[in-house]
């Protein structure tokens, strides 16, 4: 089982210490907390649109335009999603806080209602991706002072927060108010907002790589509620998580016009404090599970949580689903899971190409209360076995004795999910989330970029240095297929200091380029003055022999725009040059088989002849040798072979 299981962000927090009217005084006096508002703006987090099949008649170009405007004509802002659901256990986006801006990687969590980052004076915070927030370095930071509507630190007279999660992690600290920026690709300008400045964190929150959490749930401290209260975005947001082998994706804060074939389910804010849907049935292989009518309506009902990795069903529903799945499998062998600490249900023999899994695993459909159906492909309920090639494990588990149905991120991979809070509904649309963001090429008038995100282009060989997602087709002609991307970069870190960190560096680069770790390989590694020159190869994923042009453009644009963020221990990088290699028409073994065979044959012949010469010499030494009886021969020195 991947380490991401420890990162599951099951969001039922046990304490909520802040009342809903926490900011009543702010509403009565807007100037108290808020900078001048940019009305008519909203924000989006990166989406990339590709229909699951070519027969879809939907006009993607028109939909891209609609991503910038919702039905209320409020332009959306765009924010990219990073990381991978099962490798990391979560998806993150970038947020900037303060003046000048300080950058943070925050877990996208629809089950949390507070956005928080580690504070510089935190004595119980882990080591995360970015430096901690330093309030003293922000000229616009304000503490949220105690009033009757918040939990108060009586000693310091400041508002505090505390959140605890079902996987036994927790976060606590003080509340601050500062300018929050959403990146240079966002049409929504910087806004004042209240956030948590952590003084302590435990469990997974302490050990995770990400800095903190961006809370998208419903509540006065939610970033969504604060922006909606200002009137700068519509009361809606959307998430789109990448697929099994790719990761990345997009998030939208604000409304978008729905694709015509998006399916909806009612979401009842009174039924549960969490985002929920009316799940009535689950079909496996075309047949409904034999369950009571309210099987998915216990306790909180059926809840969506973007911060949870897997899905969890009530006991009876899980048993029925598991049995129906196994019954529908063809020619697969059940095997042990990758982690002996978990009793995972796994199978082998399905091959390594995710697009072909539907040939081995049955289709699954979720049926909503209005009769609409959402098709789940195998990547929506399986994860790769980390130790068996072609092995897969069930990513749906029993939710203990809790009757709640909890649907985590695995269920909505490659699915655009719109949380339409204004109309109390949730929409689902199958698409390629990893490409959705890359296909947004429509220019927008961006808000001022945070100072820390300004790019430094340094392609010394004349390679084009263009912003992300706008590389022209002339860079990679449409008919050209990219087999390998070769990247030469220099780091201002000593060669000797970097040697033991190369493997870790490759992982960070893969994460920033939104590819799998195994796709990034070190090709060359040399000293360069007081720094180091490295050459990397980015290879195709899985069994494919090429990288899509859209993804290749995105990789290069991120490097040339200096949007690859590495931990401070690696210093800063400069892109020296890059180039594309065409895919190999034959595998390496087929291409070099004759050379390898001849080499092995020569080696065998040389070894045989050497042994023969040695054997003849030893025999010649033994002939004619005379040793008297009962005379001990002196020990012979061992000869070097």
3-class SS letters over 372-436: CEEEECHHHCEEECCCCCCCEEECEEECCCCCCEEECHHHHECEEEEEECCCCEEEEEECCHHHH
CA separation for the pair 406, 396 (Å, rounded): 10
Highest mean pLDDT among 143-152, 325-334, 480-489: 325-334
Give percent of the chain with pLDDT exceeding 70: 71
Average pLDDT of the chain is: 76
So what's the pLDDT on residue 74? 64
pLDDT attached to residue 351: 86
If you average pLDDT over residues 405-409, what whole number do you get? Answer: 94
**Token digits for 327?**
């019954």
pLDDT at residue number 469:
37
pLDDT tens profile 89-113: 888 999 999 999 999 999 999 989 9
Which pLDDT band holds residue 320 (cuts at 50, 70, 90)? very high
Query: Which of 307-321, 515-529, 564-578 is predicted most confidently?
Result: 307-321
Q: What's the mean pLDDT in 427-455?
A: 56
Q: What is the pLDDT of residue 227?
A: 93
Q: What is the pLDDT of residue 637?
A: 30
* DSSP string for 270-293: TT-SS-EE-EEEEEETTEE----T
Residue 462 has pLDDT above 60, yes or no: no
CA separation for the pair 94, 497 (Å, rounded): 29
**Burial of 405 per CB tally in 10 Å (0-12, 13-18, 19+):** buried
Q: Please, which pLDDT band fits residue 162 given cuts at 50, 70 and 90?
A: very high
DSSP 6: G
Report how far residue 473's alpha carbon sits from residue 325's, in angstroms, rounded to the nearest whole number.
44
Orientation angle between helical segments 502-513 and 549-560, nearest 10 degrees? 120
Report pLDDT digits (tens) over 186-224: 778 899 999 999 999 999 999 999 999 999 999 899 999
Question: Is the pLDDT higher at 159 or at 4?
Answer: 159
pLDDT digits (tens, 9 = 90+) for 350-401: 888 888 899 999 999 999 999 999 999 999 999 999 889 889 999 999 998 8
Q: Which of 136, 109, 129 is nearest to 197 (CA)?
A: 136
What is the model's pLDDT at position 83? 82
Give the pLDDT score at 525.
81
Least-confidence region, from 188-192, 601-605, 611-615: 611-615
| Contact (CB, 8 A) for 433 and 261 | no
The predicted structure's pLDDT at residue 10? 43
Confidence of residue 178 (pLDDT cuts 50, 70, 90): very high
Residues 6+ apart with CB under 8 A from 428: 262, 263, 264, 265, 374, 412, 415, 416, 417, 418
| Distance in angstroms (rounded) separating the CA atoms of residues 531 and 85 | 34
Question: What beta strand segments (E) does 185-332 contain?
Answer: 191-202, 212-215, 237-241, 249-253, 263-266, 276-277, 279-284, 287-288, 302-304, 311-313
**386-399 b/e with 16+ CB inside 10 Å = b?**
eebeebbbbbbbbb
- 42 has a pLDDT exceeding 60: no
Whole-number pLDDT of residue 240: 92
Distance CA 320, CA 322 (A): 6
Name the band, by pLDDT with cuts 50, 70 and 90, for residue 345: very high
SS3 content of the chain, % helix, strand, coil (to 5): 25, 25, 50
Is residue 198 a contact partner of residue 88, using CB atoms and an 8 Å limit?
A: no
Q: What is the pLDDT of residue 365?
A: 97
Each residue's pLDDT tens digit, 295-308: 999 999 999 999 88
Q: How far apart are CA 590 and CA 579, in angstroms?
A: 25
Instruction: Please say if the pLDDT value at position 56 is more than 90.
Output: no
Query: Residue 579's pLDDT is what?
Result: 83
**N-term to C-term CA, the chain:** 47
Q: Indicate if the pLDDT at residue 347 is higher than 90.
A: yes
Check whether the bond before 100 is cis (ω within 30° of 0). Answer: yes
- Tokens coding 348: 């082998």
Q: Please check the confidence at residue 311 and state whether its pLDDT lies above 70.
A: yes
Query: 468 pLDDT band (50/70/90 cuts)?
Result: very low
Would you say residue 521 has pLDDT above 80? Answer: yes
Which H, E and C letters describe 537-571, residue by residue? EECCCCCCCCECHHHHHHHHHHHHCCCCCCCHHHC
Residue 276: is its pLDDT beyond 50? yes
Give 474: exposed, middle or buried? Use CB within 10 Å, 0-12, 13-18, 19+: exposed
Kindly list the distances between the CA atom of residue 205 and the CA atoms of 128, 136, 415, in Å, as whole numbers in the listed order.
10, 24, 27
pLDDT at 177 over 80: yes
- Report which of residues 337 and 572 the model is more confident about: 337
The pLDDT of residue 437 is above 60:
yes
Mean pLDDT comparison of 16-25, 78-87, 120-129, highest-scoring range: 120-129
Q: Is the pLDDT of residue 284 over 70?
A: yes
CA nearest neighbour of 232 among 186, 301, 265: 186
Q: What is the mean pLDDT of residues 567-583?
A: 80
What pLDDT score was predicted for residue 368? 96
Of the chain, the percentage scoring pLDDT greater than 90 comes to: 39
Could you tell me whether strands 116-118 and 191-202 are parallel, antiparallel, or unpaired per DSSP bridges?
Answer: parallel
Mean pLDDT of 513-534: 84
């Amino acid at each position: 089982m991947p380490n991401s299981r420890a990162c599951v962000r099951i969001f039922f927090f046990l304490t909520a210490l802040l009342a809903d009217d926490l900011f009543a005084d702010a509403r009565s006096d807007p100037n108290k907390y808020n900078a001048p508002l940019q009305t008519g703006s909203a924000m989006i987090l990166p989406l990339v649109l590709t229909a699951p099949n070519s027969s879809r008649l939907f006009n993607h170009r028109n939909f891209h335009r609609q991503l910038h405007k919702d039905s209320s004509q409020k332009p959306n802002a765009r924010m990219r999603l990073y990381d991978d659901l099962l490798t990391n256990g979560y998806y993150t986006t970038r947020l900037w806080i303060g003046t000048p801006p300080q950058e943070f990687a925050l877990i996208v969590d629809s089950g949390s209602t507070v956005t928080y980052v580690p504070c510089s004076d935190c004595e119980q915070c882990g080591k995360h991706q970015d430096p901690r927030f330093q309030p003293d370095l922000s000229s616009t930071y304000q503490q949220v002072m105690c009033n009757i509507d918040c939990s108060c630190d009586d000693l310091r007279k400041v508002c505090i927060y505390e959140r605890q999660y079902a996987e036994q992690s927790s976060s606590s600290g003080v509340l601050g108010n500062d300018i929050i920026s959403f990146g240079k690709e966002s049409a929504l300008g910087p806004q004042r907002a209240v956030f948590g400045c952590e003084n302590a964190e435990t469990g997974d929150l302490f050990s995770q790589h990400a800095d903190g959490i961006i809370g998208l749930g419903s509540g006065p401290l939610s970033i969504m509620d604060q922006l909606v209260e200002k009137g700068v975005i519509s009361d809606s947001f959307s998430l789109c998580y990448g697929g099994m082998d790719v990761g990345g994706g997009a998030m939208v804060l604000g409304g978008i016009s729905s694709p015509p074939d998006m399916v909806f389910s009612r979401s009842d804010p009174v039924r549960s404090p969490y985002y929920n849907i009316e799940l009535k049935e689950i079909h496996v292989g075309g047949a409904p599970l034999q369950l009571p009518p309210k099987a998915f309506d216990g306790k909180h009902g059926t809840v969506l949580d973007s911060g949870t990795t897997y899905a969890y069903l009530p006991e009876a529903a899980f048993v029925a689903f598991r049995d129906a799945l196994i019954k529908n499998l063809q020619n697969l062998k059940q095997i042990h899971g990758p982690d002996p600490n978990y009793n995972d249900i796994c199978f082998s023999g399905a091959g390594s190409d995710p697009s072909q899994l539907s040939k081995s695993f049955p289709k699954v459909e979720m049926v909503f209360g209005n009769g609409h159906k959402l098709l789940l492909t195998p990547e929506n309920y399986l994860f790769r076995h980390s130790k068996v090639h072609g092995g897969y494990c069930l990513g749906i588990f029993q939710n203990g004795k809790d009757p709640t149905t909890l649907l985590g991120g695995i269920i909505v991979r490659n699915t655009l999910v719109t949380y339409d809070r204004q109309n109390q509904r949730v929409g689902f649309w199958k698409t390629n989330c990893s490409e959705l963001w890359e296909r947004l090429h429509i220019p927008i008038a961006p808000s001022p970029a945070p100072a820390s995100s300004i790019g430094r282009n340094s392609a010394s060989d004349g390679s084009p240095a263009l912003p992300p997602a706008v590389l022209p087709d002339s860079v990679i002609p449409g008919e050209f297929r990219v087999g390998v991307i070769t990247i030469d970069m220099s780091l201002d870190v000593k060669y000797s200091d970097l040697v033991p960190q190369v493997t870790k560096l490759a992982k960070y680069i893969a994460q920033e380029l939104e590819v799998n770790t195994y796709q990034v390989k070190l090709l060359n590694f040399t000293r360069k003055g007081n720094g180091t020159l490295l050459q990397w190869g980015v290879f195709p994923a899985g069994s494919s022999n090429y990288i899509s042009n859209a993804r290749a453009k995105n990789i290069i644009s991120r490097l040339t725009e200096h949007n690859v963020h590495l931990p401070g221990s690696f210093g800063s990088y400069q892109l020296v040059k890059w180039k594309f290699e065409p895919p190999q028409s034959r595998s390496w073994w087929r291409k070099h088989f004759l050379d390898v065979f001849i080499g092995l044959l020569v080696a065998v012949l040389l070894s045989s002849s050497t042994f023969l010469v040695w054997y003849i010499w030893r025999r010649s030494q033994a002939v004619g040798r005379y040793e008297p009886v009962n005379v001990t021969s002196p020990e012979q020195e061992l000869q070097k072979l």
